[in-house]
């Protein structure tokens, strides 16, 4: 079972994801990608840790490139969040905006994202993915920001397409995305 919760920051995704993961009845492994590089980020991480039940095992993906090997096949995996986990995997891709101007930068980033999405969707045990919708407004000022936004958009779409259940969480409200898919068309007057 794959469940995806997407939406903006601070919308309530993580809280709902923890509830889903605990409801699996399996040991829960949480994969997090953030690292405490400054005091503000350290506070954010501490807040998440305080809100997360103690029985969950946490893997810091930014510190452990081989983190996937430490996820027991029978455990429920909670990725919180895809943006930070994928960001940690993309860090080595660029050595500045000049390397991102290369025509293959997006292809390399998409390959990294596709590999992660493929690994997630191939899991047999329950998996819950928290992810952010990063492209809802301002065009990032840097080439790396634009690349990340584009790669995340495609990764989110691939995960939701593969998910058994998916929700858009906005302002504390979860709206199902896994219900009937509706094609976009002009309304009829009949």
Contact yes or no for 177/166 (Cβ under 8 A): yes
Contact yes or no for 128/76 (Cβ under 8 A): yes
Cβ neighbours of residue 75 under 8 Å, at least 6 residues apart? 26, 27, 28, 29, 57, 125
Which ranges constitute the DSSP H helices of the chain? 13-22, 39-51, 82-90, 97-100, 105-122, 143-162
- Classify the C-alpha dihedral 103-108-113-115 as positive or negative: positive
CA distance 127 to 139: 31
Q: Which residues of 115-146 are buried (b: 16+ CB within 10 A; e: fewer)?
A: ebbeebeebebbbbbbbbbbeeeeeeeebbeb
Q: What are the residues facing 57 on neighbouring strands?
A: 29
Contact yes or no for 30/58 (Cβ under 8 A): yes
Catalytically active residues are 48
């Amino acid at each position: 079972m794959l469940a995806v919760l997407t939406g903006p920051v601070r919308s309530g995704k993580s809280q709902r994801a923890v509830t889903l993961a605990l409801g699996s009845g399996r040991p829960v492994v949480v994969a997090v990608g953030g690292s405490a590089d400054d005091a503000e980020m350290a506070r954010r991480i501490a807040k998440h840790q305080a809100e997360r039940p103690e029985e969950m095992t946490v893997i810091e993906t930014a510190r452990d490139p081989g983190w996937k090997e430490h996820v027991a096949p029978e455990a429920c995996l909670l990725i919180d969040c895809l943006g930070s986990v994928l960001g940690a995997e993309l860090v080595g891709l660029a050595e500045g905006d000049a390397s991102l101007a290369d025509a293959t930068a997006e292809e390399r980033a998409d390959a990294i994202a596709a590999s992660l999405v493929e690994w997630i969707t191939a899991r047999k045990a329950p998996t819950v993915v928290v992810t952010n919708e990063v492209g809802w407004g301002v065009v990032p000022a840097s080439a790396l920001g634009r690349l990340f936004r584009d790669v995340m958009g495609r990764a989110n779409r691939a995960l939701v397409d593969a998910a058994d259940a998916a929700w858009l969480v906005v302002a504390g409200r979860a709206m199902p995305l896994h219900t009937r898919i509706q094609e976009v068309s002009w309304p009829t007057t009949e």
